[in-house]
Amino acid sequence: MQARFLQQAERAQRWQSWPVRAALCAAALLLGATAAGQLAYTQRDGLAAQLPALAPALHWGCRQLGCEVQAPRVLEALSLQASHIHQTQVSGVLRLSVELHNKARHAVRAPALELTLTDSQGAVLSRRILRPEELQAPASLAGGEAWLPEALIQVGGLAVSGFTVEALYL
């Protein structure tokens, strides 16, 4: 039986040995690479937009993993400059026109639009989400680009006197 101080010294010495140090370094490198991979996977859209040199590697990685690199969703980069609603020649149908600008230097994904119709007291009559596909939106809006979507809105007999439009991502 060895003395306790000798057992402690042997245990401490084991951690200082070359094979154990090499295994710990390899484990640390593997964990670091895994963390970097997870970050690249979850932030792939923003990384591709902010660092275009990484885009080919991100596209290659997504082909291997079955994912897609798209323009990032950056709602803060979008500015709703104007919105108008007009009665069409068809009864109960309104035309919504919107002017949306991308203030970012990089491309961002086209958003959906939430349209809320109100009466003369401001009470909500109807709320509708207009998906990018319904608005024939491009896949992305280039940096500084303006997008001018239009949509026909069926209101039937609703007495619409006001509206609001907000951009959002689904």
pLDDT at residue 157, rounded to an integer:
86
Confidence band, pLDDT 50/70/90 cuts, at residue 20 = confident
Packing angle of the helix pair 18-42, 55-65 (nearest 10 deg): 90
Residue 134 pLDDT exceeds 70 = yes
Q: How does the average pLDDT of the chain come out, rounded? A: 91
Residues with Cβ within 8 Å of 111's Cβ and at least 6 positions away in sequence, in order, are 73, 75, 78, 100, 132, 167, 168, 169
Task: Please give the pLDDT value at position 6.
Answer: 62
pLDDT for 103 equals: 96
The pLDDT tens digits for 89-102 are 999 999 999 999 99
- Asked: is 75-168 a CATH 2.60.40.3230 domain? The reply is yes
> Each residue of 55-83: pLDDT tens digit?
999 999 999 999 999 999 999 999 999 99
Domain boundaries, the chain: 4-65, 75-168
Q: What is the mean pLDDT of residues 4-21?
A: 77
